[in-house]
Each structure stands twice: as structure tokens, then as C-alpha cells.
Amino acid sequence: GAGVSQSPSNKVTEKGKDVELRCDPISGHTALYWYRQSLGQGLEFLIYFQGNSAPDKSGLPSDRFSAERTGGSVSTLTIQRTQQEDSAVYLCASSSRAGSIKDEQFFGPGTRLTVL
């Protein structure tokens, strides 16, 4: 079946604008994760969804960042009033069971965000 997909693949925006990043997880996967990879750094955890709820938002760097998930499937990560330090690759992953590290997280191709 299809893997995790993300759109857009690249996004260039101006400082202060809002952006939306989309993730389509593998069909049937209940857990969904967002990570961010800034230049020269490892991936950092942003938020985790179990179904449509987000029990762990601890990684969101500021209140400009929010995410939602609808229908237990598609997720959108929104960044308001983007700043240059938001420039990064945003990765989405899904796994079959919610909250279990025993299940492999499958990653999407990422969205490269550039804030000018």
C-alpha cells in the first residue's frame, strides 16, 4: 500500500505569513507524529496524535505552532506568523498502534519550509 505522504514537498514563504503543512498517514495507522529537522541538527519531536486527539504537544516550540487531525487520518501542522528560525524540514510519521514504540514509525518524505 501507499506510504506516508506529505504536501507540499517544498514551501517558500515570507516572514510573518501563515503556512499549513499536510500529512497523509498510512491507511489504518492510529498514531501520527510530527518531527522537525533544522539544518545540522537531528530530528526533534513536535507533537503526537492518538486518533484525533493530541495527548502530547510538548515539542511544539511556541504557540505559533498548532496541529490537528481529522477523521483519524489526515493531519495539518499550521505555523502562524512564520519566522526565519522556522525554516526546517518537517517530517510526519505514522505507526499502527497508538503510543507503542514497539511499532515502527514510518516516515514521509518531509516538507522543506524556507522562510525568507
Of the candidates 29, 16, 27, 22, the one whose C-alpha atom is nearest the C-alpha of residue 91 is: 22
Binding window for another protein (CB under 8 A); candidates: 12-20, 32-40, 68-76, 79-87: 32-40
| Neighbour-count burial of 5, counting CB atoms closer than 10 A to its CB (0-12 exposed, 13-18 middle, 19+ buried) | middle
Binding test (CB under 8 A) with another protein, winner from 35, 49, 65, 90: 35
- Cα–Cα dist 24/74, whole Å: 5
Binding test (CB under 8 A) with another protein, winner from 52, 56, 96, 112: 56
Of the candidates 103, 78, 76, 97, the one whose C-alpha atom is nearest the C-alpha of residue 17 is: 78
Binding test (CB under 8 A) with another protein, winner from 33, 49, 65, 90: 33
Binding window for another protein (CB under 8 A); candidates: 12-20, 22-30, 37-45, 71-79: 37-45
Task: For the beta carbon of residue 15, count every other beta carbon within 10 angstroms.
Answer: 11
Work out whether 74 is an interface residue with another protein (CB under 8 A): no
Is 58:44 a contact under the CB 8 Å cutoff? Answer: no
Binding test (CB under 8 A) with another protein, winner from 4, 60, 77, 79: 4
Q: Using CB under 8 A as the criterion, which residues of the chain lie in contact with another protein when the complex forms? A: 3-4, 31, 33, 35, 40-45, 48, 56, 59, 91, 95, 99-102, 104-110
